[in-house]
């Protein structure tokens, strides 16, 4: 087992908009950050095709290309970007000990967690095949591409209701596919979708398949009580059954909510462990946008810089 030990001032774990923005700020502050990309370099945006809602790209940009721009900018100021997955941490002492790929050990004065969250999917082959071609896990990101068209959304929580209402503003028709005969959403959100004439709720219904070769043309659904099947003619299929934050490796040391999102001190990116900061979707289950993730990445780098300055002055 190779046990190289490296000492760094700022270690950034994860490489979406939050991680790369933290890297840009930390490297410009002369902190020589090291960033490990994690299992999905570039994060969720690499499975997004067109990004049209990020400021500064008037013509829109492809998600992977945008993340490439972020990476180049971070590297230009001296960030060392490395491929690797954090497999263990020990935050019980300083410097913090982080193990990458079970073999490289990094001693870090500060750690910025920007590991993001992964959308939960239904697990259909057609869902994977048509991902980015009409299948999406973010109505706010991708709904605009389906304006004036018929779409479907799967889910029964507040997020699903919120996204269904959002889609109803821009699409001609929204089928809401709900597995049981009731929703988990709060009453006010349920009322909103039930009273919207553009939203048709399909109760006791599950998706059997998403139809289409190169893009979504429909969805085959089945009523799990009557066993009756129906083909919906749609061009967009949205999955809103929740996200899973990629925070499992930190759970022994970092305070999280019941879903695994990291708790930060309000108005900051500080966690319960001194010198460990969290930003992006790993600590944000409300907004989940590239631009908000980038904003908290900036905050995390500034928090880390101030923490290191205070250490030096002691």
- pLDDT tens-digit series, residues 68-125: 999 999 999 999 999 999 999 999 999 999 999 999 999 999 999 999 999 899 999 9
- pLDDT tens-digit series, residues 150-198: 999 999 999 899 999 999 999 999 999 999 999 999 999 999 999 999 9
Are residue 146 and residue 281 in the same domain, yes or no?
Answer: no
- Out of 179, 204, 239, pick the residue that ends a domain: 239
Q: How far apart are CA 238 and CA 150, in angstroms?
A: 11
Say how far residue 300 (Cα) sits from the centre of its chain: 17
Work out the number of other CB atoms within 10 angstroms of the CB of residue 266. 6
Name the residue among 182, 209, 179 with its Cα closest to residue 193. 182
Are residue 76 and residue 36 in the same domain, yes or no?
Answer: yes
Are residue 129 and residue 95 in the same domain, yes or no?
Answer: no
Q: Please give the residue range of the domain that contains residue 84.
A: 5-118+243-312
- Out of 239, 254, 284, pick the residue that ends a domain: 239
Are residue 54 and residue 152 in the same domain, yes or no?
Answer: no
Are residue 149 and residue 199 in the same domain, yes or no?
Answer: yes
Are residue 37 and residue 110 in the same domain, yes or no?
Answer: yes
- Out of 224, 239, 254, pick the residue that ends a domain: 239
Q: How far apart are CA 140 and CA 223, in angstroms?
A: 28
Are residue 110 and residue 251 in the same domain, yes or no?
Answer: yes
Number of domains in the chain: 2
Are residue 137 and residue 230 in the same domain, yes or no?
Answer: yes
pLDDT at 52: 86
CATH number of the domain where residue 104 is located: 3.50.50.60
- pLDDT tens-digit series, residues 17-40: 999 999 999 999 999 999 999 887
Which tokens is 172 given?
A: 């001609």
pLDDT at 41: 78
Which tokens is 314 given?
A: 């002691």
Sorting pLDDT into bands at 50, 70 and 90, what band is 314?
A: confident
Cβ-contact 277, 309 below 8 angstroms: no
Among the residue ranges 47-61, 216-230, 234-248, the one predicted with the least confidence is 47-61
Are residue 222 and residue 156 in the same domain, yes or no?
Answer: yes
Are residue 171 and residue 111 in the same domain, yes or no?
Answer: no
Query: Which positions are annotated as active-site residues?
Result: 138, 141-142
Are residue 130 and residue 39 in the same domain, yes or no?
Answer: no
Are residue 250 and residue 215 in the same domain, yes or no?
Answer: no
Give yes or no for residue 293 having a pLDDT over 50: yes
């Amino acid at each position: 087992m190779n046990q190289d030990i490296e000492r760094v001032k700022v270690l950034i774990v994860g490489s979406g908009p939050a991680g790369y923005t933290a890297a840009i700020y930390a490297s410009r502050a002369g902190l020589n950050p090291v960033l490990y990309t994690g299992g999905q370099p570039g994060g969720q945006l690499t499975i997004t095709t067109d990004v049209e809602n990020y400021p500064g790209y008037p013509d829109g940009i492809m998600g992977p290309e945008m993340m490439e721009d972020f990476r180049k900018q971070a590297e230009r100021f001296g960030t060392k970007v490395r491929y690797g997955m954090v497999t263990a941490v020990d935050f019980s002492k300083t410097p913090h000990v982080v193990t990458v790929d079970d073999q490289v050990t990094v001693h870090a004065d500060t750690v910025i967690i920007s590991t993001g969250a992964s959308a939960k999917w239904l697990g259909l082959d057609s869902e994977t095949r048509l991902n980015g071609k009409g299948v999406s896990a973010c109505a706010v990101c991708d709904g605009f591409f389906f304006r004036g068209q018929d779409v479907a959304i799967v889910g029964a929580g507040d997020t699903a209701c919120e996204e269904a209402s959002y889609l109803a503003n821009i699409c001609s028709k929204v089928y809401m596919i709900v597995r049981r005969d009731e929703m988990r959403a709060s009453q006010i959100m349920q009322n909103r979708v039930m009273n919207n004439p553009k939203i048709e709720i399909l109760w006791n219904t599950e998706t059997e398949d998403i139809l289409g070769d190169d893009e979504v043309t429909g969805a085959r659904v089945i009523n799990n009580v009557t066993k009756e099947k129906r083909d919906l003619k749609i061009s967009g299929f949205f999955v809103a059954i929740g996200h899973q934050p990629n925070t499992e490796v930190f759970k022994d040391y970092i305070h999280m909510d019941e879903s695994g999102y990291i708790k930060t001190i309000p108005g900051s990116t500080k966690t319960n462990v001194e010198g460990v900061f969290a930003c992006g979707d790993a600590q944000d289950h409300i907004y989940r946008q590239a631009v908000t993730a980038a904003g908290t990445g900036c905050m995390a780098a500034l928090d880390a810089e101030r923490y290191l300055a205070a250490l030096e002055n002691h």
